Amino acid sequence: MKPTIVLTRGLAIATVIALALAISPGVAQPGEAPASRPLAAPMPLGPSIPIQGRLTDAAGHPLPTGTYDVAFEVCHRGGACPCADAYSLSVENGLFSTVISDCSADLFDGQQLDLQITVEGEVLTPRQPIYASPFAWSLKPGAIIHNYESGHALTLITSTSGGDNSALRAENSNPASGIAIWGKAAGDDATVVIENLGTGALLKGFGAGSGEDEFRIDNDGSLQVKPDTELFFPASLGRLTSGGGSITLAYLADGRTNLYSTGAADGVVQISLPVPSVLYGQPIEIETVTIGCQTNSLPTNTTAVKLWKQDASGTPSKIVDLAFGICGTTSGSWYAYSPPSNNMLDASTGALSLELDIHFESAITNMVVTWVKLTLDTHDLY
């Protein structure tokens, strides 16, 4: 007569934990005082999954007491059974209790599994579904997973795509203060290791704004950040390249340069701007060029402003090419310009130089160039 089975306890991972705690040394049982004994060395939970049930015949009568050849297999829903255990199982009035010990943890990855049971060579149908214990759906607040063996203490895997389908999401919802993830290491290795085997970024950081990532570490280790880099250069880096007969540059102690002439004249001042062409491993975009400049008479002013760059072969090209006066008559005057094109620097292009073509209306006029500021960007999304 074909046997049947009734499982008296649902198969669940949480059951392993419950049973392990019930038999751990030093854990008080109901009605008992805590045992007074030395603490045992920590031991990890074993891989055994307990099963209890009742074997009956087709009419529902318990199978006679005795020993039966029984095999238990954990199977994918409608598919193969990757782990199994077989026993000569002692049965008493149909009741039995045993464990499955041949399953690896990676089998229980959240996919639906079933238990297939074979008694005396006869496969019982249907397979019994394996359900999660309610507490196995989550972790108790403050839960600790301590790995005393080799290997990772916790492995999370997802095969879905998109920003809302991550393997791990951590959040601290306290609007006043709090940390979502805290990492700590005590050895000589890294606290956090990040690996991307594809072509995407290693790390992205998002702020409270609605923009894209505020910073990003790309797969080659280069860094992109949203905040611009501001570099100031004193005008004392300038030198006169033409018009030297009547034009004089007076370098002031505060870094400014005073330009004056003995009469009407034209000249060219060149200011070298030592700027890295690659920053944090990223090419540099020159977003804005700002020049501090003051004249005591508007006819004495710049007639052209040019920002040059050179490639590795020494070939120059212009980033900025303005043909008008930029100097104001009030103290602290400055002029800012954002070049629309040809404003990228990289490993093969750099060597910036600012050219100021200057016209002096008369000997009683003068100009003061205070500083040059470059606003640089290393993030391709901003």
* CATH code of 99's domain: 2.60.40
pLDDT above 50 for 10: no
Comparing C-alpha atoms, which of 2, 19, 7, 3 is closest to residue 115? 7
Residue 25, pLDDT score: 35
Contact indicator for 239, 269 with CB cutoff of 8 Å: yes
Tell whether 250 and 213 lie within a shared domain. Answer: no
Tell whether 307 and 366 lie within a shared domain. Answer: yes
Tell whether 125 and 107 lie within a shared domain. Answer: yes
Domain boundary, last residue among 116, 136, 156: 136
- Per-residue pLDDT tens digits for 238-291: 999 876 668 899 999 999 999 999 889 999 999 999 999 998 888 999 999 999
Residue 341, pLDDT score: 93
Contact indicator for 359, 266 with CB cutoff of 8 Å: yes
Is 169 within a domain? no
Residue 36, pLDDT score: 55
Tell whether 236 and 366 lie within a shared domain. Answer: yes
Is 299 within a domain? yes
Is 74 within a domain? yes
- Per-residue pLDDT tens digits for 159-213: 888 767 888 888 888 988 889 999 999 999 999 999 999 988 888 888 876 667 7
Tell whether 209 and 233 lie within a shared domain. Answer: no
Tell whether 251 and 364 lie within a shared domain. Answer: yes
The torsion angles phi and psi of 105, rounded to 5 degrees, stand at -65, -30
Domain encompassing residue 81: 4-27+44-136
* CATH code of 357's domain: 2.60.120
Distances (CA, A) of 208 to 175, 212, 215: 12, 10, 13
Q: Which residue has the tokens 């059951």?
A: 15
Kindly report the average pLDDT of the chain as a whole number: 84
pLDDT above 80 for 11: no
Ramachandran region, residue 358 (left: φ > 0; alpha: ψ -120 to 50; beta: rest): beta
Tell whether 11 and 103 lie within a shared domain. Answer: yes
Residue 378, pLDDT score: 85
105 by Cβ neighbours in 10 Å (0-12 / 13-18 / 19+) ranks as exposed
Domain boundary, last residue among 136, 152, 168: 136
Average pLDDT over residues 339-357: 93
Residue 14, pLDDT score: 31
Contact indicator for 240, 268 with CB cutoff of 8 Å: yes
Tell whether 121 and 244 lie within a shared domain. Answer: no
163-199 per-residue burial string, b: 16 or more CB within 10 A, e: under 16: eeeeeeeeeeeeeeeeeeeeeeeeeeeeeeeeeeeee
pTM metric for this prediction: 0.63
Is 216 within a domain? yes
DSSP of 21-89: HHTSTTPPPTT-PPP--PPPPP-PPPS-EEEEEEEE-TTSPBPPSEEEEEEEEEEETTS---EEEEEEE
Tell whether 268 and 210 lie within a shared domain. Answer: no
Tell whether 304 and 215 lie within a shared domain. Answer: no
Tell whether 239 and 342 lie within a shared domain. Answer: yes
Residues 6+ apart with CB under 8 A from 76: 82, 111, 112, 113, 114
At 320, the pLDDT band (50, 70, 90 cuts) reads very high
Residue 38, pLDDT score: 60
Comparing C-alpha atoms, which of 340, 379, 345, 224 is closest to residue 275? 345
Query: How many C-beta atoms surround the C-beta of residue 321 within 10 A?
Result: 13
Distances (CA, A) of 56 to 53, 96, 151: 10, 11, 43
At 152, the pLDDT band (50, 70, 90 cuts) reads confident
Total number of domains constituting the chain: 3
Residue 206, pLDDT score: 83
At 64, the pLDDT band (50, 70, 90 cuts) reads very high
At 316, the pLDDT band (50, 70, 90 cuts) reads very high
- Is the four-CA dihedral 98, 104, 109, 112 of positive or negative sign? negative
31 by Cβ neighbours in 10 Å (0-12 / 13-18 / 19+) ranks as exposed
Contact indicator for 98, 132 with CB cutoff of 8 Å: no
Is 263 within a domain? yes
At 141, the pLDDT band (50, 70, 90 cuts) reads confident
Domain boundary, last residue among 101, 121, 136: 136
265-273 and 349-360 beta bridge pairing = antiparallel
The torsion angles phi and psi of 86, rounded to 5 degrees, stand at -125, 140
Comparing C-alpha atoms, which of 102, 96, 103 is closest to residue 119? 96
In whole angstroms, give the CA distance from residue 64 to residue 41: 43
44 by Cβ neighbours in 10 Å (0-12 / 13-18 / 19+) ranks as exposed
Tell whether 256 and 209 lie within a shared domain. Answer: no
Residue 19, pLDDT score: 31
Contact indicator for 373, 271 with CB cutoff of 8 Å: no
Q: Could you tell me the maximum CA-CA distance found in the chain, to the nearest angstrom?
A: 124
- Per-residue pLDDT tens digits for 76-105: 999 999 989 998 999 999 999 999 887 887
Is 184 within a domain? no
304-319 per-residue burial string, b: 16 or more CB within 10 A, e: under 16: bbbbbbeeeeeeeeeb
Is 32 within a domain? no
Query: How many C-beta atoms surround the C-beta of residue 95 within 10 A?
Result: 16
Residue 17, pLDDT score: 28
Average pLDDT over residues 331-355: 94
Strand partners, 53: 7, 96
- Per-residue pLDDT tens digits for 296-315: 999 999 999 999 999 989 99
Is 186 within a domain? no
